[in-house]
Structure 1
Amino acid sequence: MKVIVDADACPVTNIIIEETEGIAIPVTLVKNYNHFSMETYPDHVTVTYVDDGADEADYRIVQLVGSEDIVVTQDYGLASLCLQKDCHVLHHKGFRYRKEKIDQMLQERHMSAKMRKAGKRTKGPKKLTNEDKDSFRNALRKLLPYH
């Protein structure tokens, strides 16, 4: 088991690192070169940089993920691809993506995009709260061994 993070804009990276430290679960942060950093991480964390491009990080994550791994992303399209590999996919607000609901989520995203393209306004994502972070931590703990 490993944890792979769509890390360019992931607000729970520190939680993931904290929860996996000391339990021999490797973490891979996949980032675009535009987000290059000299930040140092614990030994169980590696950073994989990908070229600039709309879906480069997604392609790399799909290459890296295997059955029973955990992927953390807010991207419904990436979640859909990863679910086909029988892994666990978490949103940073703590909910698990499910095969049974992903088609509906993708359809809703498509309809919102069509509305925006037509000039209508749609609601953006709500600000991440401490309750969301706690929900994510609890969902991650349920998937990790030794918790």
Structure 2
Amino acid sequence: MTKKNYQIFVDADACPVKSEILHIASSLQFDVTFVASYAHVSTNNFGGKWIYVDSNKEEVDMYIMNHSKRHDIVITQDIGLASLLLAKEMIVISPRGRQFVEETIGLALNMRYLSAKERRKGHHSKGPSPFSNEDRRNFSMNFEKILSNLEGE
């Protein structure tokens, strides 16, 4: 399988590593498709292919689910979407550089459920830590490693 058979999709609405994705993917000659809702149309020209979908809650996720295939790469922070994509044998990585895998996605889904249950009771946590330069470096390192491994297949 050549790298042309792999497609990279980005859940772009709140993705903080768009420029890193483009830089790494273009250096290894992978194409990138950013998927965002019309509510997040940007005047910044990041490059890559951009697809805009309706602003309904799950439209970006549905587009990625319906247009991606086995072995594609998706960048998303949505754990629910990640679990569905893993079932399709896709590579899923978060903007912080965490690769989602079958062995741990169940635990992540359970933790998400428990957190939502606590929020409904009125107990709010601090939420995720602010996105840091360390997160950016971690993403870049792991994303480049994933693409390099695919390139070597």
TM-score > 0.5, shorter chain as reference: yes
For structure 1, the residue ranges without an aligned partner over 5 or more in a row are none
Give 1:83's aligned residue. Answer: 86
Q: Which amino acid aligns with 1:13?
A: K
For structure 2, the residue ranges without an aligned partner over 5 or more in a row are 1-5
Native 8 Å contact 2:19 2:46 kept in 1: no
CA displacement at 1:41 relative to structure 2: 3.9
Give 2:10's aligned residue. Answer: 5
Query: What is the CA RMSD across the aligned residues, in angstroms?
Result: 1.4
Could you list the structure 1 runs, at least 4 aligned residues long, displaced by more than 2 angstroms after superposition.
Answer: 37-42
| Cα separation, 2, equivalents of 1:18 and 1:133 | 13
Q: Which amino acid aligns with 1:119?
A: G
Which residues in structure 2 correspond to 1:1-147 (within 5 Å)?
1-42=6-47, 45-145=48-148
Q: Which amino acid aligns with 2:7?
A: K
Q: Which amino acid aligns with 1:122?
A: S
Give the structure with the larger helix fraction.
Answer: 2
SS of residue matched to 2:100: coil
Question: What's the TM-score, normalizing by structure 1?
Answer: 0.93
Deviations 1:54-108 (A, max 9, x none): 1010000111211221100000001011111111100111110011111111111
Question: What's the TM-score, normalizing by structure 2?
Answer: 0.89
